Amino acid sequence: MEPDDKIHANGGADVSNNRNRPIISSEQLDIEAYAGLYTGRTKITRLLFIADRCGQNNNTAMKMEALRMAYEEIKKGENTQLFRDVVQKIDGRLGSNYGMDSAWCEMVDRRADQRKEKLENELNAYRTNLIKESIRMGYNDFGDYYYAHGYLADAFKSYARTRDYCTTSKHVIHTCMSAILVSIEMGQFTHVTSYVSKAEQTAEALEPPTVSKLRCAAGLAHLEAKKYKLAARKPLIYFDEPSTFFCAYLQYLLILDGLYSEHLEATLYSYLAHVIFLWVQFLEVSPELGNSYNEVIAPQDVATYGGLCALASFDRAELKVFLLHHHPLLHLQSLFLLSKVIDNPNFRNFLELVPEVRELIHDFYSSHYASCLDYLGNLKANLMLDIHLHDHVQTLYDQIRNKALIQYTHPFVSVDLHMMANAFKTTVVGLGKELEALIADNQIQARIDSHNKILYARHADQRNATFQRVLQTGNEFDRDVRAMLLRANLIKHEYKASRKL
């Protein structure tokens, strides 16, 4: 292992573990601490999800604790139908203090009817006066009303209608964020993706917390679609500050082809600058997110979702090198570099909140597979109680284990299956079946000596591979020389380009 590849702990392990007690751990989930990470409707839905899962697993104590907390949280709001559903699930098992409160329901429903009538009168008046801002606020108030009372479909329609009356970029972003929130609650993740895209395309630059929220929302949408690599990182049709070099290099290519004109340069520049991919998602969420989006997701979730998706989809190099680098001599293809997981300064802050995820990523990168799989095994029971992750846990775990097996065998000409089975804490027979499946799927190029229990790698055509490397080196040398000549000419002629989109 090269010196630069060594992984160093951030401070003493004992100190960090004592300071930040993990909520997701091998111990039984601390429901009170877990629920404290969230606010609003998602806090209630997560508690009810935990209650349902614990009911299936016959964990009555944990189920009733979740229902008790959900009951108390619902009474802080105005959703009487959800309150009735929770009372029915409790079924008197928590005593008289957690029974049906008809007086409270009648009071809330009566107040809701009065509020709705007032909103209808105000909106009708705004329509008559044709004041766009007032109409927008009227529909937004209706969306808030429906959302508070649990009518999510009506809330989404009201928020969507405000789009026609937005007059500033801030109004558009507010509309998109409201629609995204309701869509996540409804499980309509196609709407989430659509409104994330609309928010990103606003004319004004987005504030860092808003960008982080959009990345989290898009990450959840990709997670739901089982696009784990995109959940960790996705292409944003977005280019923050096009470089002077990019403009000059585009001009240089056009001149070489005899196609240069100012109009063509401007057109291609505008197009290409908008399709350069900046790979961001859970792994590039800014620490500025903090607890500002806990009506949807907690910082601990960012670490857990992003870490597991990265382990399941990235190779070892991507885990280490996952950050877009900029250099004045980069050619266009090299703009599409990878980002960091281990060395990512943003994501590292989130990993500190969930030490187990941090350690299992380090163990995987360091090839300590037994320790990594132990961490995963300890986390599994509590991850199954996560409303967004539970359907994906087994798939992610299988992919991570398969990647570990592939990575273990990659450097060797032959592997003793007894030693490998010991490293993965499994039997030789079980390991053999896993390797057979990977070989059949062409993920490992090898053959198994069943008698001697040895795995032999199949070598690629070394002669052909050498020729390909030579050709690639030649192309890279040609590209670099052209880039250096271009830069020398730019410096010589004091060329400056300050074109903005």
Torsion of CA 297, 303, 307, 309, to 10 degrees: 10
Confidence of residue 501 (pLDDT cuts 50, 70, 90): very low
In the prediction, which pLDDT does 160 show? 93
pLDDT-wise least confident of 40-54, 306-320, 409-423: 306-320
User: Which residues pair with residue 280 across a beta bridge?
Assistant: 234
In the prediction, which pLDDT does 340 show? 45
Q: What's the average model confidence in pLDDT over 411-419? A: 90
Q: What's the average model confidence in pLDDT over 102-128? A: 93
In the prediction, which pLDDT does 289 show? 75
Interatomic CA distance for residues 490 and 410, integer angstroms: 45
* pLDDT tops 90 at residue 268: no
pLDDT-wise least confident of 38-47, 102-111, 199-208, 432-441: 199-208
Residue by residue, DSSP assigns 406-474 as HHHHTT-SEEEHHHHHHHTTS-HHHHHHHHHHHHHTTSS-EEEETTTTEEEEPPP-HHHHHHHHHHHHH
How large a percentage of the chain has pLDDT more than 90? Answer: 38
Sheet holding 414-416, edge to edge: 414-416, 454-457, 446-449
pLDDT-wise least confident of 143-152, 163-172, 204-213, 255-264: 255-264
Q: What's the average model confidence in pLDDT over 121-130? A: 89
Token pair in block for residue 92: 């008197």
In the prediction, which pLDDT does 232 show? 66
Confidence of residue 345 (pLDDT cuts 50, 70, 90): low
How large a percentage of the chain has pLDDT more than 70? Answer: 76
Interatomic CA distance for residues 161 and 196, integer angstroms: 17
Chain-centroid distance of CA 264 in Å reads 38
Instruction: Please give the single-letter amino acid code of residue 16.
Output: S
In the prediction, which pLDDT does 339 show? 40
In the prediction, which pLDDT does 344 show? 63
Interatomic CA distance for residues 67 and 52, integer angstroms: 9
Kindly tell me the number of DSSP H helices and DSSP E strands found in the chain. 23, 5
pLDDT tens digits for range 12-24: 333 333 333 444 4
* pLDDT tops 80 at residue 98: yes
In the prediction, which pLDDT does 479 show? 87
In the prediction, which pLDDT does 365 show? 85
* pLDDT tops 50 at residue 486: yes
Q: For residues 484 and 327, which has the higher predicted lDDT (pLDDT)?
A: 484
Give the number of other CB atoms < 10 A from CB of residue 168: 12
Q: For residues 251 and 358, which has the higher predicted lDDT (pLDDT)?
A: 358
* pLDDT tops 50 at residue 327: no
pLDDT tens digits for range 201-253: 887 778 888 888 888 898 899 888 888 777 765 443 333 344 444 454 445 45
What residues contact residue 378 under an 8 Å CB cut-off, 6+ apart?
25, 26, 356
Provide the mean pLDDT of the chain.
Answer: 78
In the prediction, which pLDDT does 416 show? 92
* pLDDT tops 70 at residue 336: no
pLDDT-wise least confident of 69-78, 181-190, 251-260: 251-260
91 φψ region: left (φ > 0), alpha (ψ -120 to 50), beta (else) = left
pLDDT-wise least confident of 46-50, 179-183, 250-254, 336-340: 336-340
Residue 162 DSSP class: G
Tell me the backbone φ, ψ of residue 311, rounded to 5 degrees: -60, -35
Q: pTM of the predicted model, to two decimals?
A: 0.74
CA angle 34, 299, 217 (to 5 degrees): 110
